[in-house]
A and B are shown apart, each in its own frame.
Chain A
Amino acid sequence: MDKNIKMFVRNLNFYYGNVLALKNVNLDILTNHVTALIGPSGCGKTTFLRCLNRMNDLVEGARVEGQILLDGEDIYSPEMDSVQIRRRIGMVFQKSNPFPKTVFENVAYGLRIDNPYSKAELTARVEKSLKDAALWEEVKDRMNDRAFELSGGQQQRLCIARALAVEPEVILMDEPASALDPIATLKIEELIQELKKKYTIVIVTHNMQQAARVSDYTAFFYLGELIEVNRTEKIFTRPSLKRTEDYITGRFG
């Protein structure tokens, strides 16, 4: 398999109970690229994202068919530990969800899980993660403040720092900027550009401009199906399907 393919999705069907929420999705997610998932609400893009790190395992009645490979390994094979998968594939949620702990403890949370680090190493890793998330300058004197005291944009970057701290290979972002103002959004978008040098990123977004700005590839979902996927500039300038064009030009959605 092409070693540029980080995640490889074939014939993926996903059920909530008896409801088929994703129909035969096939998608390659390329290493060190940003893949944007777009589509109207309820089209399955968030469901798809949550299949990628087995977050849907936690949903009652959820069932997955098909194949998702991470570096050629099937993440849904019975030998795979979903906990290990989630350590390699991090996630940033739509609504920033800092824990009711200090700024420091939020970032350190994932690092403490197996607790292999000395105090100094922990501090260094927290600092590095915050720098990578472009938040360090703003919070370096506030490490012991409650995370809830940060602004909305800072909280979301804190959640990104928290995800980076455990050094995942892939980062899944579920509309990470949907609750943020334009300036905070811009910061997140710049950050994504920076992060793709080291990580593979999949981002769900409702915002067409955002998809156009941050992503290399765009996948358009509609009613549980992956309608079209291509390089982002292609999707936004010369989509090959009428339905894609209708959506990105705002004729429906």
Chain B
Amino acid sequence: MPTITHYLALSLILFTIGLAGVLIRRNIIIVLMSLELIFNSVNISLAAFSYFLQSINGVVFVIFSITVAAAEVAIGLALLVTVYRTRRAVNVDELNEMKG
């Protein structure tokens, strides 16, 4: 039987990979995909806590989290399409208009 530490370690590894993707890559679409990886790792840890603490709250929270992630992806990709139309750029370091 895998214990809660196994699930938390898997969640941590996926979180670190997603965080590295957000911080390292230049392409915005890969950054959004890495963000989805982070969401998924957090969902794994919530479901694991819910199962090992014998509570239903974590599972319900995962459902809300998946819904909000879907809304976030729709808005994020719409913003990405708008930015590409006006600036012809998809790299994060080329979008520096708001730099002080």
Q: Is this pair of chains taken from one and the same complex?
A: no
- B residues with CB within 8 A of A: none
